[in-house]
């Protein structure tokens, strides 16, 4: 029996290794994991399909099918008549596919030759909506709490007393009164040190991240990211040709290990207030440690504070930026969550030394504009509507969260905290239901979809092994009656996956 057959068969008998998948898919996963973990090194030759079939006790067609999928995804290559070899992963940048990989049939074949390498990589596995946490009952999203009439009145006011400058792109990094209003808001609510001078208004967090990646990192530089990680940040960094170094997240957020410190980052992307997607809140000790590391490594921390407004009880920890004495943190915020997603207004607080360069590049690369919306938003904040609205939706979303948790807990009964855990931190717009490691959460996601429920598998957000298993459930825009009705169905889907 070859060393490879031996390796594969040891992995295959492990009880938690996708026991419910068909043989072909399990063999594919085993090979992929071995390649990623370096147990099969680049250039090494695989046993023939005949040998492997014999050693593993599988049908030869099963082995061939698994090989074909590995080949289609670039994990192995074959030279006519001379066997199958492990490909060079660094070259292929396959990091994004470690866990639940799409089937080869899902990869749009025709397009890959038309696109660049990075273009093919970014688009090969479908749009990021596959990683976005939608309301778990897909219907009309409930945005009814937004004060449309007030918003419309404020917009009309701006359009009535129009100033030509507001129709232009704007070269100052955004509408000054809005930058002032944001400076006051983030100082009060998040202890962020900001003045209008070092705030830039962007058209959203993706645009903020893009600017950071282009201005602060070069091709091939390393970005530390949380593992699991927010897909949108990953995509932007990949498009800017950065190397991603995943760092495991535990209950206290990003957990640096000595091995991580061997890899020098240029950027460190974190979501400390409410880790995306696990919900972990970074402890004060970890925050201090991370700031120290950033100074020592001469790296920039990008603090994405995407949903800190949705803290339902207690007071949140101050922002990382607020703790930072060395000007190493870029703080990113957005209005998409509090107002409505399509408004496309985000902001960044940059160290003072970077402010001019960022404003110049914002104008040059993105041409900002949208000053009329920014003016209405400045009024919305300064007249107190923003604070009122946050209080209101915090109450609404908090009670929806509680309702979903109660509904699920009632259904799970004694399984709760034994086979199933429901996240308990009181913040955010989605809930995490964790299941044991041997449960295939991607299969659960599919099963739920068949019942009309849209959830996301936690394991899909990971860049490296091991992964945790669970489902991410967006509840904020779902009305209470639907939460109860579909919550029960979701619980029974999960139960069917546990048995």
The two tokens of residue 246 are: 């995943």
How many alpha carbons fall within 13 Å on the CB side of residue 379? Answer: 15
> Distance (Å, rounded) from C-alpha 60 to C-alpha 39?
23
For a second copy, the closer of residues 215 and 409 by Cβ is: 215
Going by DSSP bridges, is the β-strand pair 222-227/243-250 parallel, antiparallel, or unpaired? parallel
Q: What residues form DSSP beta bridges with 248? A: 227
Q: If binding is defined by CB under 8 A, does position 482 make contact with a second copy?
A: no
- Number of residues near a second copy (by CB under 8 A): 80
Q: If binding is defined by CB under 8 A, does position 217 make contact with a second copy?
A: yes
> Distance (Å, rounded) from C-alpha 239 to C-alpha 145?
36
Q: If binding is defined by CB under 8 A, does position 216 make contact with a second copy?
A: yes
Q: What are phi and psi of 86, to 5 degrees?
A: -75, 130
Q: If binding is defined by CB under 8 A, does position 89 make contact with a second copy?
A: no
Task: Please confirm whether the linkage preceding 52 is cis (ω < 30° from 0).
Answer: no
For a second copy, the closer of residues 107 and 433 by Cβ is: 107
Task: Please confirm whether the linkage preceding 17 is cis (ω < 30° from 0).
Answer: no
Q: If binding is defined by CB under 8 A, does position 460 make contact with a second copy?
A: no
Q: If binding is defined by CB under 8 A, does position 74 make contact with a second copy?
A: no
Q: If binding is defined by CB under 8 A, does position 392 make contact with a second copy?
A: no
For a second copy, the closer of residues 43 and 119 by Cβ is: 119
Q: If binding is defined by CB under 8 A, does position 140 make contact with a second copy?
A: yes
Choose, by CB under 8 A, the member of 115, 176, 323, 396 that binds a second copy: 115
User: Is 459 within 8 Å of 441 (Cβ atoms)?
Assistant: yes
For a second copy, the closer of residues 365 and 449 by Cβ is: 365
For a second copy, the closer of residues 5 and 336 by Cβ is: 336
Q: If binding is defined by CB under 8 A, does position 168 make contact with a second copy?
A: yes
Q: If binding is defined by CB under 8 A, does position 485 make contact with a second copy?
A: no
Q: Where are the beta strands (DSSP E) in 60-190?
A: 76-79, 83-86
Contacts of 218 (CB under 8 A, 6+ apart): 266
Q: If binding is defined by CB under 8 A, does position 325 make contact with a second copy?
A: no
Q: How many helices (H) and strands (E) does the chain have?
A: 19, 14
For a second copy, the closer of residues 6 and 218 by Cβ is: 218
User: Is 350 within 8 Å of 300 (Cβ atoms)?
Assistant: no
Choose, by CB under 8 A, the member of 291, 354, 377, 472 that binds a second copy: 354
Footprint (CB under 8 A) of a second copy, residues 359-388: 359-361, 363-372
Among 34-42, 231-239, 272-280, 417-425, the segment contacting a second copy (CB under 8 A): 231-239
């Amino acid at each position: 029996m070859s060393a490879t057959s031996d390796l594969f068969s040891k992995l295959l008998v492990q009880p938690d290794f996708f026991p419910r998948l068909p043989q072909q898919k399990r063999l594919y996963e085993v090979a992929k994991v071995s390649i990623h973990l370096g147990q099969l090194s680049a250039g090494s030759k695989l046993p023939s399909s005949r040998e492997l079939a014999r050693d593993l006790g599988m049908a030869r067609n099963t082995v061939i099918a698994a090989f074909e999928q590995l080949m289609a995804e670039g994990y192995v290559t074959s030279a006519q008549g001379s066997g199958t070899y492990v490909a060079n992963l660094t070259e292929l940048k396959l990091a994004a596919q470690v866990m639940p990989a799409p089937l080869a049939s899902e990869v749009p074949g025709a397009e890959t030759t038309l696109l660049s390498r990075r273009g093919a990589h970014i688009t090969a596995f479908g749009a990021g909506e596959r990683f976005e946490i939608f309301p778990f009952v897909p219907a009309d999203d409930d945005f009814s709490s937004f004060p449309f009439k007030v918003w419309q009145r404020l917009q009309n006011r701006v359009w009535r007393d129009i100033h030509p400058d507001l129709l232009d792109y704007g070269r100052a990094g955004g509408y000054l009164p809005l930058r002032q209003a944001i400076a006051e808001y983030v100082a009060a609510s998040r202890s962020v040190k900001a003045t209008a001078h070092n705030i830039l208004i962007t058209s959203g967090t993706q645009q903020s991240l893009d600017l950071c990646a282009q201005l602060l990192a070069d091709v091939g530089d390393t970005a530390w990211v949380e593992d699991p990680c927010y897909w949108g940040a990953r995509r932007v960094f990949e498009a800017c040709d950065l190397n991603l170094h995943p760092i495991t997240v535990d209950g206290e957020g990003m957990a640096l290990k000595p091995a991580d410190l061997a890899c020098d980052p240029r950027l460190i992307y974190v979501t400390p207030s409410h880790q995306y997607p696990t919900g972990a809140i970074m402890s004060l000790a970890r925050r201090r440690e991370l700031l120290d590391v950033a100074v020592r490594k001469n790296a920039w921390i990008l603090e994405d504070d995407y949903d800190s407004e949705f803290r339902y009880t207690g007071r949140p920890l101050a922002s990382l930026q607020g703790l930072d004495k060395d000007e190493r943190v870029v703080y990113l915020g957005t209005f998409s969550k509090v107002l409505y997603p399509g408004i496309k207004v985000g902001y960044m607080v940059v160290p003072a030394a970077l402010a001019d360069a960022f404003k110049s590049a914002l104008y040059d690369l993105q041409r900002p504009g949208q000053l009329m919306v920014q003016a209405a938003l400045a009024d919305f904040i300064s007249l107190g509507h923003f604070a009122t609205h946050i209080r209101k939706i915090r109450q609404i979303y908090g009670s929806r969260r509680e309702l979903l948790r109660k509904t699920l807990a009632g259904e799970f009964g004694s399984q709760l905290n034994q086979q199933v855990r429901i996240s308990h931190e009181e913040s955010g717009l989605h809930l995490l239901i964790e299941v044991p490691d041997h449960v295939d959460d991607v299969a659960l996601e599919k099963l739920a979809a068949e019942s009309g429920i849209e959830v996301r598998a936690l394991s899909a957000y990971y860049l490296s092994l091991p992964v945790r298993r669970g489902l991410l459930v967006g509840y904020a825009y779902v009305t209470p009656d639907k939460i109860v009705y579909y919550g029960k169905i979701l619980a029974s889907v999960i139960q069917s996956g546990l048995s």
